[in-house]
A and B are shown apart, each in its own frame.
Chain A
Amino acid sequence: EVRLVDSGGRLVQPGGSLRLSCAASGFTFSSNWMHWVRQVPGKGLVWVSGMNTDGTHTMYADSVKGRFTISRDNAKNTLLLQMNSLRAEDTAVYYCAKDLIGHGSFDYWGQGTLVTVSS
């Protein structure tokens, strides 16, 4: 069974940093692109960042480029998102998502972790 477990979300002050983690199991993690998607409660889905299988190709939404860094540890089946210079508008539930190979869609999602940026 595919399982993605998101963690690391909490209350952080504007300008602060946070690192999110996604623990993956039930599939060959190293063979799949992985992504982060966020959602302000009650609002729509927004893609944040993605990475290829070996970490050599990373992609970012313009709103987070230069502030967020995606990475992965294939030995530990873990996806990470380092979030720096956080802003109030980064407040959202962050989901990690598994890429459906060859189709650029997301076939499995973590349960989400809430990041709140506020003073």
Chain B
Amino acid sequence: EVVLTQSPGTLSLSPGERATLSCRASQSVSSTYLAWYQQKPGQTPRLLIYAASIRATGIPDRFSGSGSGTEFTLTISRLEPEDFAVYYCQQHGNSRYTFGQGTKLEIK
């Protein structure tokens, strides 16, 4: 099973700053099957990025994804107050789906 490790566990930043979240896979993942989600307290997860770099419908262009193989990154170019949440990466391969443990993005 592919294990996804996200870092940092918690990221403290201020609105307007740039956020860089990392997702490392224990073995190579196809970019086609790497996604990022945002979850706010009391809400269901929301798909942000799929295929490593494609923004889902309605996602602002301040969100971008990149990476390949075992290293993937979610970048938020200029943080808005509504961006403070927990972010998860997720992969699919060999009839299995796994999530990272999440990165909490909090207001500094």
User: Which of B17-25, B43-51, B69-77 is found at the contact surface with chain A?
Assistant: B43-51
CB atoms of B32 and A103 under 8 A apart: yes
CB atoms of A100 and B50 under 8 A apart: yes
Within 8 A of A (CB), among B66-89: 88
Contact of A105 among B33, B44, B101, B102 (CB under 8 A): B33
Question: A-B contact count, CB below 8 Å?
Answer: 67
- Residues in chain A near residue B97, CB distance under 8 A: 35, 47, 50, 59, 104
- The binding surface of chain A is classed by DSSP as strand
In whole angstroms, how far apart are the Cα atoms of A107 and B102 in the complex? 18
CB atoms of A103 and B33 under 8 A apart: yes
- Sort chain A's interface into a size bin: 20 to 34
**Quick one: closest A residue to B44, CB to CB?**
A109
- The binding surface of chain B is classed by DSSP as strand
- Sort chain B's interface into a size bin: 20 to 34
**Quick one: closest A residue to B32, CB to CB?**
A103
- Kindly list 8 other residue pairs between chains A and B, CB separation below 8 angstroms, not including A45-B90, A103-B32, A104-B93: A35-B97, A57-B95, A104-B33, A104-B97, A105-B33, A105-B47, A107-B56, A109-B45
10 A-B pairs with least C-beta separation: A104-B92, A105-B35, A47-B97, A104-B33, A109-B44, A105-B50, A45-B99, A59-B95, A103-B50, A107-B47
**Partner-B contacts on A (CB < 8 A):** 35, 37, 44-47, 50, 57, 59, 61-62, 95, 100, 102-107, 109-112
